[in-house]
Amino acid sequence: MKHTGHARATHDGYSIPALAAWVVIVAVVTYTAGPVLRHMPLAVIPWPLHGLVVGVLFGTAHRHRFPMAIALGVAVIVGAGAHSDDWFRAFIGTCQLIAQSIVVVELHRWLSGNRHPMRGVFSFAWFGVCATLGTLPATALASLVIGLAGAEIAPGYTNSAWWVSAVTSLFAITPIILAFNAPARTGAPVHRTWRWELPLLAAVYALALLNAFFTVLNDWVIVAPAVATIPFLVWAGLRFGTRGYAVFAAMFGIVVVASAAVNVGPFAEFGPDPILRGNRAWIYIASLAGPTMIFPIALAERAMAEARARGAFAQLAAIIESSGDLIAAIDRDLVIIAANPAWVHGFHRISGIRVRPGMSMVDALAALPLDQDESIANWRRALAGHRFTVTRDIGDPNLARDEYEITYSPVRDEHNDIVGASQVVRNVTDRRRQESAEAETKRLEALGRLAGGVAHDFNNLMTAVVGYAGILAQSLPAHDQRQADLAEIEKAATRAGELTQQLLAFARRRVVAPKVVDVGGLVGGFMRLIAPLLGSTVRLNVRIGTDLPEVRIDPTQFEQVLMNLAVNARDAMPSGGELGVDVVRTRYRSGDGVRISVRDTGTGMGPEVVERIWEPFYTTKPQGKGTGLGLATVHGIVHQAGGEITVESTLGVGTTFHVILPAVDDDVAVGG
């Protein structure tokens, strides 16, 4: 048998061979029990058959239930007709039995939401309701038919006798069958001690039952039937679950029915009438063994709920343990009660303290004097019932001090009382840097669009100025003294044109001619050309790596990048120093690239200067010494080539610019 994990689904039911076996069993029980376990003198349907048929139909898959009901009906007719030789009574009794069973099963399916009767307390309670009420319609219909056809077709038939027989059989026998075709989770887990405990307890129980109902020990031990029954049933339910309880309930039912049948034990007091003794025995079994099945079902349901809770807790703990966020919790005394590995590692990285559960948060934060007071205040605020998020720098400056986003929350128990507080910490240092870089890029793009528009219009004006100055110069005699003035106008306009070209390069609107080039060769050749411009006090150190990939860039623009960086480095070393240029292969994004590092040992820059060095017209040089477009132009050229440029600078130590250009694919390199 299989069952699904959905709360409202039933198991798949018996297999076809099992159903065939049940048909044979029903026929045999009908034939053998019919003569001795009757509820009326001329009855052909034995008492156990009511509960047996309903139990089998409950265990049958819904798609097979109607064909199985027909097969069981045929088996009952055969068994009842064979032992009574009254095939008509066998037929009408079987019709009432099968109709009654289908009503009980389908009514329970509708009321319980298609749950197995043993699936939980409420489902089993619905079974009790259906067993009591679902037998009434078939009984009433049978009485109507007998009343219309004449009492002679079923002499001795009474509604009450049939109903009592059906209800007691359903309460006594059906739960035993259901316990063994129910989903496996309703049973208790199997323990090794069962191998000896279950057989031993069953043997003692059998002896107690035989003594209570058959007096096998004579007068040596006198035990009341209730004392011999209830403790064992309770123990079986507690220890072995519903299936263990079903075994002991079956033993109880067999012994009681047998004692009533042979007229010994407590039921002998009801006289020589076997039908009367049987009715009383069935009521006794049904009232004791059937309803009390709800207790092991309740225990099993609670055990499963606890198992689910443990499983959910284990899953939650696994999620927290594996989370990349830093998670910790404290109690009301600020004692750390839980911390995931990420939190422990992160706290150790910024404080040097290895935190463990049981340590005071106050003691742990003592290693961070800059942050202790504010952190403790935040914890106390969470313990006061507030949920909030703060973003702040935390850590020992000598180890690591990063920016964190911390969410504090109170922890409450099942009574909604605050028993502690928790924090979920996320390191947002890299995110903030990325956001800052993205904002800087957008700002530079906006400045670039503005500068490009101005430069384009200004370039057109300067073109007109140069053109008209040339026309005017041609119209004047060569010895005219105004020719010198026109030459100055043309020279200034030309310089303005060069300035606009720099602006256009920064705005990435200058027409370029990118080519696949060998960066190492370009750097080596160009640095030899500009070495004399650096002066005698600046030492040039060029190191070019091997196996460099080729890149695509405008060679003229690349030389302009080297020129601007080299001139800036020279100006940063008024007393001399070293200018180093390193060219190496590196990884860039998802492929290869080339990194050109230009470093100097000059005055360096502070953080406030580094934040603005890419802005056009921003310069730290004296007035008249720089336009503020050098690095802005470099930034535009590098990004237009698909690369990136970064800077590292320390006041009094020097500055290093890193230019990274993406490598071209081999097929592109070959094609030029």
Q: What is the mean pLDDT of residues 584-593?
A: 89
Burial of residue 359 (CB within 10 Å: 0-12, 13-18, 19+) is middle
Using one digit for the tens of pLDDT, what is the confidence trace for 385-423? 999 999 888 888 888 888 899 999 999 988 899 999 999
Do both 157 and 194 map to the same domain? no
Do both 547 and 645 map to the same domain? yes
Among residues 267, 287, 318, the one where a domain terminates is 318
Task: Taking the CA atoms of 396, 399, 401 and 406 in sequence, report the sign of the dihedral they define.
Answer: negative
Within-domain flag for 434: no
Within-domain flag for 510: no
Within-domain flag for 432: no
Tell me the C-alpha distance between 107 and 127, whole Å. 9
Tell me the C-alpha distance between 109 and 10, whole Å. 10
Q: How would residue 472 be classed by pLDDT, with cut points 50, 70 and 90?
A: confident
Of 121-135, 290-304, 542-556, the least confident = 290-304
Question: What own/partner pairs with CB < 8 Å and gap ≥ 24 does 403-412 have?
Answer: 403/427, 403/428, 403/429, 403/432, 404/428, 406/378, 408/378, 408/379, 408/381, 408/382, 409/382, 410/382, 410/383, 410/384, 410/385, 410/386, 411/329
Phi and psi at 273, nearest 5°, equal -75, 110
pLDDT of residue 658: 95
The answer to whether the beta carbons of residues 663 and 550 sit under 8 Å apart is yes
Within-domain flag for 437: no
Tell me the C-alpha distance between 443 and 437, whole Å. 10
pLDDT of residue 119: 84
Do both 5 and 51 map to the same domain? yes
Do both 94 and 214 map to the same domain? no
Using one digit for the tens of pLDDT, what is the confidence trace for 478-489? 787 777 777 878
DSSP 8-state assignment for residue 269? G
Do both 613 and 497 map to the same domain? no
Kindly list the strands in the beta sheet with 577-588, ordered across the sheet, starting from the edge strand earlier in the chain: 538-544, 577-588, 591-600, 654-662, 644-650
Do both 109 and 140 map to the same domain? yes
Torsion-angle region of residue 146: left (phi > 0), alpha (psi -120 to 50) or beta? alpha
Q: Which two tokens mark 225?
A: 């039937």
- If one compares 553 and 215, the residue with the highest pLDDT of the two is 553
Do both 542 and 484 map to the same domain? no
Within-domain flag for 438: no
Within-domain flag for 243: yes
Query: End-to-end alpha-carbon separation of the chain, Å?
Result: 71
Question: In 10 A of CB 572, how many CB atoms?
Answer: 20
Burial of residue 355 (CB within 10 Å: 0-12, 13-18, 19+) is buried
Question: In 10 A of CB 44, how many CB atoms?
Answer: 29
Do both 234 and 198 map to the same domain? yes
pTM for the predicted model, two decimal places = 0.54
The number of folded domains in the chain is 5
Within-domain flag for 404: yes
Provide the residue range defining the domain that includes 15: 1-184
Tell me the C-alpha distance between 535 and 525, whole Å. 18
Using one digit for the tens of pLDDT, what is the confidence trace for 189-212? 545 556 778 888 888 888 888 888
Using one digit for the tens of pLDDT, what is the confidence trace for 499-544? 666 665 555 555 567 889 999 988 888 888 778 878 888 899 999 9
Among residues 427, 451, 484, the one where a domain terminates is 427
Do both 219 and 344 map to the same domain? no
Q: How would residue 259 be classed by pLDDT, with cut points 50, 70 and 90?
A: confident
pLDDT of residue 269: 82
- If one compares 305 and 107, the residue with the highest pLDDT of the two is 107
Do both 411 and 338 map to the same domain? yes
Tell me the C-alpha distance between 241 and 177, whole Å. 14
pLDDT of residue 380: 93
pLDDT of residue 382: 93
Do both 486 and 520 map to the same domain? no
Do both 161 and 237 map to the same domain? no
Task: Please state, for a pLDDT cut of 70, what percent of the chain lies above it.
Answer: 84
Residue 186 has pLDDT above 50, yes or no: no
Q: How would residue 188 be classed by pLDDT, with cut points 50, 70 and 90?
A: very low
Q: How would residue 596 be classed by pLDDT, with cut points 50, 70 and 90?
A: very high
Tell me the C-alpha distance between 661 and 666, whole Å. 15
Task: Taking the CA atoms of 407, 413, 414 and 415 in sequence, report the sign of the dihedral they define.
Answer: negative
Within-domain flag for 614: yes
